[in-house]
Amino acid sequence: MSSQWHTSWNAPRILISGSVAYDTILVFEGHFKDHILADKVHMINVAFLAPRLERNYGGTAANIAYSLAGLGAHPAVLAAVGRDGDDQINRMKRIGVDVSGVMRIEELWTAQAFITTDLDDNQITAFHPGAMDRAHEVRVAGHLPAALGIISPNGRQAMIDHAESFRVNDVPFVFDPGQALPMFDGDALRGMMEGAVAVTVNDYECSMITQKTGLEESELARLVNALIVTRGGEGCTVWVDGEPHPIPAAAISHAVDPTGCGDAFRAGVLYGRSTGKDWVASARLGSVLGAMKIEHSGAQSHVVDRKVIAERYEAAYGDRPWPESEDALATDLDDHHHHHQWT
């Protein structure tokens, strides 16, 4: 398959430190509560028959790169995969992602999540980090220069090392701690934030950071140029220079699956900033990407079409994110479901 995602020649190069993973989703057509007995939780031994299984491409870096490539940026992933990662590498390459910073480790498996969901949308997840824990062996220095970077959930040492390399090499970066938050104490979080130009978190993660650091949301905002706190369907708050700017969520047709919405949002923010937009306009672009993602199952099966993005942005916020003449900078993959997931 030839790529129909075209990176424009002058596209901003964006370095993405994060995970590359597989998500295996199993649907149990019953209710966990009927099988887990409250007085027996100390000796659980249950089996759930799951007739439906989906195996999707995932991982924070791969998800962010997917939307950035569709927008026409030049994303480069800094990550590690295992012996089963060739498929991920080839697919990223096919859609225009620079994979020279993806290390393949033969003796390990690629990071993977096994998510079992019941009919109440309760989830039981097992996560195997695999090769991700050695992502710090990938060095930033070989992949410069870059207009912008992001530190997303990755191996703990990779997050620390890559953030320090970005700082030393004057690559402005966004800190996106996400699911990796429990690995850092308050001092470490504060140190990472002080090196970043911006922090992106959801409201739950923000409250975790305030607990760990002892700083209120408004005080956290003063550590960085921008603090972006997403609040699901309520939109997001963008703190710039200590002032909060509420941004309503872009409209959606129907919610299908929230998996990867945060990563699509971050891709929009990164693209906006790397093309000279302010933080508020960049977060609006992120909101549109997140809305498009939630309408599809899996983290990388939404079609990233610049014309549609521009139309939805204008409908939500009253102006266009770029001139009509730039709608065709990148085109989406046709027949995308056949390339983006297994069912």
What backbone torsions phi and psi does residue 227 show, to the nearest 5 degrees?
Answer: -115, 120
Closest CA to 107 of 83, 123, 127: 83
The domain that contains 22 carries what CATH number? 3.40.1190.20
Mind listing the pLDDT tens digit for each residue in 49-99? Answer: 999 898 999 999 999 999 999 999 999 999 999 999 999 999 999 999 999
Mind listing the pLDDT tens digit for each residue in 260-293? Answer: 899 999 999 999 999 999 999 999 999 999 999 9
CB 163 within 8 A of CB 192: yes
Domains of the chain: total: 1
What confidence score (pLDDT) does residue 41 get? 63
CB 289 within 8 A of CB 270: no
Count of other CB atoms within 10 angstroms of residue 43: 6
pLDDT greater at residue 120 or residue 141:
141
CB 146 within 8 A of CB 15: yes
Q: Classify residue 303 by burial, with Cβ atoms within 10 Å: 0-12, 13-18, 19+.
A: middle
Cα–Cα distances in angstroms (integers) from residue 207 to residues 44, 201, 204, 220, 230, in the given order: 32, 10, 5, 11, 12
pLDDT greater at residue 333 or residue 25:
25
What confidence score (pLDDT) does residue 330 get? 57
What confidence score (pLDDT) does residue 339 get? 38
The answer as to whether 43 is a domain residue is no
Range of lowest pLDDT (15-29, 102-116, 118-132, 175-189): 118-132
CA distance 69 to 7: 7
What confidence score (pLDDT) does residue 256 get? 85
Domain housing 89 = 13-32+51-317
pLDDT category of residue 40 using cuts at 50, 70 and 90: low
CA distance 10 to 252: 32
What confidence score (pLDDT) does residue 331 get? 47
The answer as to whether 78 is a domain residue is yes
Count of other CB atoms within 10 angstroms of residue 37: 11
The answer as to whether 161 is a domain residue is yes
Closest CA to 156 of 118, 204, 202, 189: 189
- pTM for the complete prediction? 0.90
Residue-averaged pLDDT of the chain: 90
**Cis previous bond, 75, omega within 30:** no
The answer as to whether 216 is a domain residue is yes
The answer as to whether 299 is a domain residue is yes
Q: What torsion, rounded to 10 degrees, do the Cα atoms 174, 179, 185, 190 define?
A: 20
Mind listing the pLDDT tens digit for each residue in 292-308? Answer: 999 998 889 999 999 99
The answer as to whether 310 is a domain residue is yes
